[in-house]
Amino acid sequence: MSQSGEYFLSQAETCAEAARNSPLPQLRDKYLRAQVAWQALADSEIRIRDARDRRTAEREAAAALVAS
């Protein structure tokens, strides 16, 4: 995973931990919303990376066919 994807996942886990340890419901809700946002960023990063890898593999396969 890319460095930014790892960072997003790390932030999501940090928010989850803060929510678990929060004594106040308002803070817990805030941390849970932040966790969802960070996780969405990580998921998006994963989808983008997978699509990029797929396109690269398709280009390499096409180039190999042309070279044959």
pLDDT tens string 21-31? 999 999 999 99
Give me the sign of the Cα torsion angle 55, 57, 60, 62: negative
The yes-or-no verdict on residue 2 having pLDDT over 80 is no
**Higher-confidence residue: 67 or 15?**
15
Three-class SS of residue 38? Answer: helix
- Interatomic CA distance for residues 68 and 49, integer angstroms: 29
> Where does the chain have alpha helices with state H?
3-21, 25-67
- Interatomic CA distance for residues 65 and 21, integer angstroms: 57
